Chains A and B, each alone.
Chain A
Amino acid sequence: MILSMNNLAEAQSSGISSLGINLKSFVFQLITFLIVLAILRRWVFPKLVATLEERRKTLEESLNQARLTEETLQKAEAKAGEILQAARAQADAALAEAHTKAEEIIAKGETAASERGARIIAEAEERLGQERQRLHSELRGELAELVAATTEKVLRQKLDEREDRALIERSLKELG
Protein backbone atom coordinates (compact mmCIF):
# COMPACT_ATOMS: atom_id res chain seq x y z
CA MET A 1 0.00 0.00 0.00
CA ILE A 2 2.78 2.29 0.90
CA LEU A 3 4.33 1.56 -2.41
CA SER A 4 1.12 2.22 -4.19
CA MET A 5 0.79 5.39 -2.27
CA ASN A 6 4.33 6.23 -3.14
CA ASN A 7 3.50 5.52 -6.72
CA LEU A 8 0.38 7.51 -6.48
CA ALA A 9 2.30 10.27 -4.92
CA GLU A 10 4.92 10.13 -7.49
CA ALA A 11 2.29 10.02 -10.18
CA GLN A 12 0.39 12.92 -8.76
CA SER A 13 3.41 14.84 -7.69
CA SER A 14 4.00 15.62 -11.11
CA GLY A 15 0.56 17.42 -11.20
CA ILE A 16 0.35 18.88 -7.63
CA SER A 17 3.99 19.52 -7.38
CA SER A 18 3.47 21.90 -10.14
CA LEU A 19 1.45 23.91 -7.61
CA GLY A 20 4.37 23.78 -5.15
CA ILE A 21 2.63 21.25 -2.75
CA ASN A 22 4.28 18.07 -1.54
CA LEU A 23 1.63 15.41 -1.93
CA LYS A 24 3.16 13.00 0.51
CA SER A 25 3.41 15.57 3.11
CA PHE A 26 -0.09 16.66 2.35
CA VAL A 27 -1.52 13.17 2.68
CA PHE A 28 0.39 12.56 5.85
CA GLN A 29 -0.87 15.76 7.33
CA LEU A 30 -4.40 14.95 6.26
CA ILE A 31 -4.26 11.56 7.92
CA THR A 32 -2.80 13.05 11.02
CA PHE A 33 -5.54 15.65 11.00
CA LEU A 34 -8.21 13.01 10.64
CA ILE A 35 -6.74 11.01 13.51
CA VAL A 36 -6.60 14.04 15.71
CA LEU A 37 -10.11 14.96 14.66
CA ALA A 38 -11.33 11.50 15.49
CA ILE A 39 -9.64 11.60 18.89
CA LEU A 40 -11.13 14.98 19.60
CA ARG A 41 -14.60 13.91 18.52
CA ARG A 42 -14.36 10.76 20.52
CA TRP A 43 -13.03 12.03 23.86
CA VAL A 44 -12.59 15.78 23.94
CA PHE A 45 -15.57 17.40 22.23
CA PRO A 46 -18.27 15.55 24.18
CA LYS A 47 -16.75 16.61 27.49
CA LEU A 48 -16.20 20.10 26.21
CA VAL A 49 -19.77 20.34 24.95
CA ALA A 50 -21.07 18.90 28.19
CA THR A 51 -19.07 21.38 30.20
CA LEU A 52 -20.23 24.24 28.01
CA GLU A 53 -23.82 23.03 28.25
CA GLU A 54 -23.50 22.80 32.00
CA ARG A 55 -22.09 26.31 32.20
CA ARG A 56 -24.86 27.52 29.91
CA LYS A 57 -27.45 25.96 32.19
CA THR A 58 -25.79 27.37 35.26
CA LEU A 59 -25.74 30.78 33.62
CA GLU A 60 -29.36 30.48 32.62
CA GLU A 61 -30.31 29.44 36.13
CA SER A 62 -28.36 32.33 37.51
CA LEU A 63 -30.14 34.68 35.14
CA ASN A 64 -33.52 33.21 36.13
CA GLN A 65 -32.56 33.48 39.76
CA ALA A 66 -31.49 37.05 39.23
CA ARG A 67 -34.75 37.81 37.49
CA LEU A 68 -36.72 36.18 40.27
CA THR A 69 -34.71 38.08 42.82
CA GLU A 70 -35.34 41.30 40.96
CA GLU A 71 -39.06 40.55 40.79
CA THR A 72 -39.08 39.67 44.49
CA LEU A 73 -37.22 42.84 45.22
CA GLN A 74 -39.68 44.85 43.20
CA LYS A 75 -42.55 43.19 44.97
CA ALA A 76 -40.89 43.80 48.33
CA GLU A 77 -40.31 47.42 47.43
CA ALA A 78 -43.93 47.77 46.36
CA LYS A 79 -45.08 46.12 49.55
CA ALA A 80 -42.75 48.25 51.60
CA GLY A 81 -44.15 51.31 49.84
CA GLU A 82 -47.68 50.20 50.65
CA ILE A 83 -46.73 49.52 54.26
CA LEU A 84 -44.99 52.86 54.48
CA GLN A 85 -47.98 54.61 53.01
CA ALA A 86 -50.31 52.82 55.38
CA ALA A 87 -48.03 53.66 58.26
CA ARG A 88 -47.99 57.30 57.21
CA ALA A 89 -51.76 57.29 56.95
CA GLN A 90 -52.00 55.72 60.39
CA ALA A 91 -49.51 58.19 61.78
CA ASP A 92 -51.44 61.08 60.26
CA ALA A 93 -54.68 59.72 61.69
CA ALA A 94 -53.06 59.22 65.10
CA LEU A 95 -51.63 62.71 64.97
CA ALA A 96 -54.97 64.19 64.04
CA GLU A 97 -56.65 62.23 66.81
CA ALA A 98 -53.98 63.35 69.26
CA HIS A 99 -54.57 66.95 68.20
CA THR A 100 -58.30 66.54 68.66
CA LYS A 101 -57.88 64.92 72.05
CA ALA A 102 -55.41 67.55 73.13
CA GLU A 103 -57.86 70.25 72.13
CA GLU A 104 -60.62 68.45 74.00
CA ILE A 105 -58.43 68.09 77.08
CA ILE A 106 -57.47 71.74 76.92
CA ALA A 107 -61.11 72.73 76.49
CA LYS A 108 -62.13 70.50 79.40
CA GLY A 109 -59.31 71.89 81.50
CA GLU A 110 -60.36 75.42 80.68
CA THR A 111 -63.97 74.63 81.53
CA ALA A 112 -62.99 72.93 84.79
CA ALA A 113 -60.71 75.81 85.70
CA SER A 114 -63.45 78.27 84.91
CA GLU A 115 -65.98 76.34 86.99
CA ARG A 116 -63.54 76.00 89.86
CA GLY A 117 -62.78 79.68 89.71
CA ALA A 118 -66.46 80.53 89.75
CA ARG A 119 -66.96 78.17 92.69
CA ILE A 120 -64.08 79.71 94.59
CA ILE A 121 -65.44 83.17 93.94
CA ALA A 122 -68.92 82.10 95.04
CA GLU A 123 -67.53 80.54 98.22
CA ALA A 124 -65.45 83.62 98.92
CA GLU A 125 -68.49 85.82 98.41
CA GLU A 126 -70.52 83.58 100.69
CA ARG A 127 -67.83 83.69 103.37
CA LEU A 128 -67.60 87.43 102.93
CA GLY A 129 -71.35 87.73 103.29
CA GLN A 130 -71.32 85.59 106.42
CA GLU A 131 -68.47 87.61 107.86
CA ARG A 132 -70.29 90.83 107.02
CA GLN A 133 -73.43 89.45 108.65
CA ARG A 134 -71.45 88.41 111.72
CA LEU A 135 -69.81 91.81 112.00
CA HIS A 136 -73.16 93.48 111.49
CA SER A 137 -74.68 91.37 114.25
CA GLU A 138 -71.77 92.05 116.55
CA LEU A 139 -71.96 95.76 115.84
CA ARG A 140 -75.68 95.73 116.36
CA GLY A 141 -75.28 93.87 119.65
CA GLU A 142 -72.59 96.25 120.81
CA LEU A 143 -74.73 99.20 119.80
CA ALA A 144 -77.71 97.75 121.65
CA GLU A 145 -75.57 97.15 124.70
CA LEU A 146 -74.26 100.71 124.49
CA VAL A 147 -77.75 102.15 124.11
CA ALA A 148 -79.06 100.01 126.99
CA ALA A 149 -76.12 100.87 129.23
CA THR A 150 -76.44 104.58 128.47
CA THR A 151 -80.19 104.46 129.01
CA GLU A 152 -79.70 102.63 132.30
CA LYS A 153 -77.15 105.19 133.43
CA VAL A 154 -79.43 108.10 132.52
CA LEU A 155 -82.43 106.46 134.15
CA ARG A 156 -80.51 105.81 137.36
CA GLN A 157 -79.50 109.47 137.49
CA LYS A 158 -82.88 110.93 136.56
CA LEU A 159 -85.38 108.52 138.09
CA ASP A 160 -86.09 109.55 141.69
CA GLU A 161 -88.53 107.94 144.13
CA ARG A 162 -91.44 110.12 143.12
CA GLU A 163 -91.04 109.43 139.44
CA ASP A 164 -90.60 105.73 140.18
CA ARG A 165 -93.92 105.64 142.02
CA ALA A 166 -95.60 107.41 139.13
CA LEU A 167 -94.06 104.85 136.80
CA ILE A 168 -95.36 101.97 138.94
CA GLU A 169 -98.84 103.48 138.97
CA ARG A 170 -98.82 103.78 135.19
CA SER A 171 -97.61 100.20 134.93
CA LEU A 172 -100.41 98.94 137.16
CA LYS A 173 -102.93 100.80 135.03
CA GLU A 174 -101.48 99.25 131.93
CA LEU A 175 -101.63 95.80 133.48
CA GLY A 176 -105.14 96.34 134.77
Chain B
Amino acid sequence: MPVLSRRQLAAYAADQLLASQQVSAIAKELAAVLVNSRRANQAELLAQDIAWELERRGAAANATVTAAHDLSEQLRKQISAFVKKSAKVERVIINQNIDDSVIGGVRIDTAAHSWDKTLSRKLTDIREVL
Protein backbone atom coordinates (compact mmCIF):
# COMPACT_ATOMS: atom_id res chain seq x y z
CA MET B 1 0.00 0.00 0.00
CA PRO B 2 1.52 3.35 -1.03
CA VAL B 3 2.18 5.87 1.72
CA LEU B 4 0.14 9.08 1.40
CA SER B 5 2.11 12.28 1.74
CA ARG B 6 1.30 14.82 4.42
CA ARG B 7 0.05 17.22 1.77
CA GLN B 8 -2.31 14.54 0.41
CA LEU B 9 -3.60 13.80 3.89
CA ALA B 10 -4.18 17.54 4.50
CA ALA B 11 -6.11 17.82 1.23
CA TYR B 12 -8.21 14.81 2.20
CA ALA B 13 -8.94 16.28 5.64
CA ALA B 14 -9.90 19.64 4.12
CA ASP B 15 -12.24 17.86 1.74
CA GLN B 16 -13.86 16.00 4.60
CA LEU B 17 -14.18 19.10 6.79
CA LEU B 18 -15.70 21.13 3.97
CA ALA B 19 -18.10 18.24 3.37
CA SER B 20 -19.25 18.73 6.96
CA GLN B 21 -18.00 15.41 8.17
CA GLN B 22 -17.52 14.78 11.88
CA VAL B 23 -14.25 16.32 13.03
CA SER B 24 -13.62 13.54 15.53
CA ALA B 25 -14.10 10.88 12.85
CA ILE B 26 -11.69 12.65 10.49
CA ALA B 27 -9.20 13.03 13.33
CA LYS B 28 -9.38 9.32 14.10
CA GLU B 29 -8.80 8.42 10.48
CA LEU B 30 -5.81 10.69 10.21
CA ALA B 31 -4.38 9.42 13.49
CA ALA B 32 -4.73 5.85 12.26
CA VAL B 33 -2.89 6.68 9.02
CA LEU B 34 -0.08 8.44 10.86
CA VAL B 35 0.35 5.62 13.36
CA ASN B 36 0.19 3.01 10.64
CA SER B 37 2.85 4.80 8.60
CA ARG B 38 4.95 5.41 11.71
CA ARG B 39 4.56 9.20 11.45
CA ALA B 40 2.79 9.89 14.70
CA ASN B 41 5.31 12.62 15.49
CA GLN B 42 4.08 14.59 12.45
CA ALA B 43 0.61 15.24 13.87
CA GLU B 44 1.36 18.92 14.61
CA LEU B 45 2.76 19.46 11.12
CA LEU B 46 -0.28 17.79 9.61
CA ALA B 47 -2.57 20.13 11.56
CA GLN B 48 -0.64 23.10 10.14
CA ASP B 49 -0.95 21.64 6.64
CA ILE B 50 -4.69 21.24 7.07
CA ALA B 51 -4.97 24.88 8.21
CA TRP B 52 -2.90 25.95 5.22
CA GLU B 53 -5.11 23.90 2.87
CA LEU B 54 -8.30 25.36 4.33
CA GLU B 55 -6.90 28.88 3.99
CA ARG B 56 -5.76 28.19 0.43
CA ARG B 57 -9.26 27.08 -0.46
CA GLY B 58 -10.69 30.25 1.12
CA ALA B 59 -12.65 28.34 3.74
CA ALA B 60 -11.10 29.38 7.01
CA ALA B 61 -7.99 30.92 8.53
CA ASN B 62 -6.59 30.21 11.95
CA ALA B 63 -5.07 33.54 12.98
CA THR B 64 -2.68 33.83 15.91
CA VAL B 65 -2.71 37.45 17.10
CA THR B 66 0.21 38.52 19.24
CA ALA B 67 0.02 41.78 21.20
CA ALA B 68 1.39 43.27 24.41
CA HIS B 69 -2.06 43.86 25.88
CA ASP B 70 -5.40 42.11 25.86
CA LEU B 71 -7.45 42.83 22.75
CA SER B 72 -10.85 44.45 23.00
CA GLU B 73 -13.82 42.85 21.29
CA GLN B 74 -13.89 45.68 18.79
CA LEU B 75 -10.26 45.08 17.89
CA ARG B 76 -10.92 41.37 17.47
CA LYS B 77 -13.67 42.15 15.01
CA GLN B 78 -11.46 44.57 13.13
CA ILE B 79 -8.68 42.01 12.96
CA SER B 80 -11.08 39.30 11.83
CA ALA B 81 -12.42 41.54 9.08
CA PHE B 82 -8.90 42.43 8.03
CA VAL B 83 -7.84 38.79 7.79
CA LYS B 84 -10.99 37.82 5.88
CA LYS B 85 -10.30 40.53 3.38
CA SER B 86 -6.56 40.02 3.07
CA ALA B 87 -6.46 36.21 3.07
CA LYS B 88 -9.72 35.96 1.14
CA VAL B 89 -11.30 33.48 3.53
CA GLU B 90 -14.90 33.11 4.69
CA ARG B 91 -14.16 32.42 8.33
CA VAL B 92 -11.45 33.50 10.78
CA ILE B 93 -10.55 31.85 14.06
CA ILE B 94 -8.55 34.17 16.31
CA ASN B 95 -6.14 32.87 18.91
CA GLN B 96 -4.80 35.65 21.06
CA ASN B 97 -1.27 35.52 22.39
CA ILE B 98 -0.13 38.17 24.85
CA ASP B 99 3.60 38.79 24.60
CA ASP B 100 5.19 41.73 26.40
CA SER B 101 8.29 41.57 24.20
CA VAL B 102 6.42 43.06 21.22
CA ILE B 103 6.11 46.32 23.27
CA GLY B 104 3.12 47.57 21.26
CA GLY B 105 1.20 46.99 18.06
CA VAL B 106 0.11 43.65 16.74
CA ARG B 107 1.41 40.64 14.79
CA ILE B 108 -1.04 38.40 12.90
CA ASP B 109 0.06 34.96 11.72
CA THR B 110 -2.04 32.55 9.68
CA ALA B 111 -0.99 29.33 7.98
CA ALA B 112 -0.22 31.15 4.75
CA HIS B 113 0.27 34.78 5.74
CA SER B 114 1.96 36.96 8.31
CA TRP B 115 1.56 40.65 9.16
CA ASP B 116 3.87 42.25 11.70
CA LYS B 117 3.04 45.77 12.89
CA THR B 118 4.65 45.52 16.30
CA LEU B 119 6.97 48.13 17.79
CA SER B 120 9.62 45.47 18.41
CA ARG B 121 9.64 44.77 14.65
CA LYS B 122 10.00 48.48 13.92
CA LEU B 123 12.89 48.76 16.36
CA THR B 124 14.55 45.77 14.73
CA ASP B 125 14.12 47.45 11.34
CA ILE B 126 15.66 50.63 12.71
CA ARG B 127 18.63 48.64 14.05
CA GLU B 128 19.10 46.98 10.66
CA VAL B 129 18.82 50.25 8.75
CA LEU B 130 21.29 52.03 11.01
Q: A residues near B, CB below 8 A?
A: 140-141, 143-145, 147-148, 151-152, 155-156, 159, 161, 163-165, 167-169, 171-172, 174-176
Residue of A nearest to B108 (CB): A175
Type the 1/0 row for B117-130, where 1 means its CB is closer than 8 Å to any CB of A.
10110011011011
The stretch that binds A, out of B5-13, B34-42, B54-62, B68-76, is: B68-76
A165 touches which one: B69, B86, B103, B119 (CB < 8 A)?
B69
Min CB distance A37 to B, Å, is 151
- Residues of chain B within 8 A of A143, CB atoms compared: 130
CB-based contact A168/B67 at 8 Å: yes
Residue of A nearest to B117 (CB): A171
CB-based contact B117/A152 at 8 Å: no
By CB atoms of chain B within 10 A, which of A141, A143, A152, A168 has the most?
A168
Min CB distance B19 to A, Å, is 33
CB-based contact A171/B130 at 8 Å: no
CB-based contact A175/B119 at 8 Å: no
Q: B79 at interface (Cβ–Cβ under 8 A)?
A: yes
Residue of B nearest to A156 (CB): B103
- Residues of chain A within 8 A of B68, CB atoms compared: 159, 164
* Distance, CA A176 to CA B108, complexed state (A): 13
CB-based contact B126/A148 at 8 Å: yes
Q: B residues near A, CB below 8 A?
A: 67-72, 75, 78-79, 82, 85-86, 103-106, 115, 117, 119-120, 123-124, 126-127, 129-130
* Distance, CA A176 to CA B86, complexed state (A): 8
By CB atoms of chain A within 10 A, which of B69, B79, B124 has the most?
B69
- Residues of chain A within 8 A of B119, CB atoms compared: 152, 155, 159, 167
Residue of A nearest to B118 (CB): A171
CB-based contact B117/A175 at 8 Å: yes
CB-based contact B127/A175 at 8 Å: no
B75 touches which one: A141, A151, A169 (CB < 8 A)?
A169
- Residues of chain A within 8 A of B82, CB atoms compared: 172, 175-176
* Distance, CA A172 to CA B79, complexed state (A): 7
- Residues of chain A within 8 A of B104, CB atoms compared: 155, 159, 163-164, 167
**Interface contacts beyond A167-B119, A171-B105: sample of 19 additional A-B pairs, CB < 8 Å, sorted by A:** A141-B130, A144-B129, A145-B127, A148-B123, A148-B127, A152-B119, A152-B120, A152-B123, A155-B104, A156-B103, A164-B105, A167-B105, A168-B67, A168-B71, A169-B75, A172-B78, A175-B82, A175-B117, A176-B82
